[in-house]
Chain A
Amino acid sequence: MSKNLSFPGLSSGPAPLMLSSFPRAILHVDGDAFFTSVEQALHPKLRGRPVVTGKERGIIACASYEAKARGVKRGISLWDARKMCPDLVVLPSDYESYSLFSKRMFEIMRRFTPEVEEYSIDEGFADITGMRGVFRRSYEEIAQAMQAAIHHELDLTVSVGLSLSKSLSKIASDFRKPRGFTPVAGRHIHIFLGRIPLADVWGLGPNRVNLLQEFGLRTAWDYVCLPLEWVDKLLHKPGAEIWHELRGTAVLPVNTQAWHPKASISKSKTFSSPSADRKFIRAKLIRNLESAFIKLRRHSLRAGELSVALRLKDYRESGLCARLARAATTASEVSSIAAGMFQQLYIPGACYRATTVVLGRIESDMTRQYELFEDPGKTERIRRMGSAIDDINRMCGKHTIFLGSGLHLKAGAGGDNGRNEPCWRQGHLLEGETRRKRIGIPRLEIVV
Chain B
Amino acid sequence: MPRKIDVASKLSLLRAFFHREGRAPSYSEMAEMFGYASKNAVYGPVNYLVKMGYLRSCVNGRLAFTRKITAAIPALGSVQAGFPSPAEEELLDTVSLDEYLVSRPEATYLLTVSGDSMQDAGIHSGDLVLVEKGGTPKPGDIVIAQIDGEWTMKYYGKDRQGVYLDPANSKYARIRPQKSLSIGGIVRAVIRKYS
Contacts and interface: CB of A to CB of B under 8 A. Distances in A.
Interface of A: 42, 44, 104, 107-108, 149, 152-155, 428, 430-432, 439, 441-444, 446-448
A13 to B, nearest CB: 42
B110 A153 contact: no
B151 A447 contact: yes
Given A428-B112, A443-B110, 12 more contacts: A107-B106, A152-B134, A154-B133, A431-B195, A443-B112, A444-B131, A446-B184, A447-B151, A448-B111, A448-B114, A448-B144, A448-B153
A153 B193 contact: no
12 contacts: A42-B109, A44-B184, A153-B106, A431-B193, A441-B102, A441-B110, A442-B109, A442-B110, A443-B109, A444-B131, A448-B115, A448-B117
Given A44-B146, A44-B151, A153-B106, A432 B193 contact: yes
B133 A448 contact: no
A6 B193 CA distance: 57
Contacts of A446: 111, 144, 151, 184
Contact of B128 (A154, A155, A430, A448): A430
B108 A444 contact: no
A108 B134 CA distance: 12
Interface of B: 102, 104-115, 117, 128, 130-131, 133-134, 144, 146, 151-153, 184, 193, 195
Nearest to B107: A153
Contacts of B117: 448
A190 B136 CA distance: 42
Contacts of B144: 444, 446, 448
Contacts of B110: 430, 439, 441-444
A432 B130 CA distance: 17
A444 B144 CA distance: 11
Nearest to B114: A447
B133 A152 contact: yes
Contacts of B184: 44, 444, 446
Contacts of A439: 110
Contacts of B106: 104, 107-108, 153-154
Contacts of A442: 109-110
B151 to A, nearest CB: 5
Contacts of A448: 111, 113-115, 117, 144, 151-153
A153 B130 CA distance: 14
Contacts of B105: 104, 107
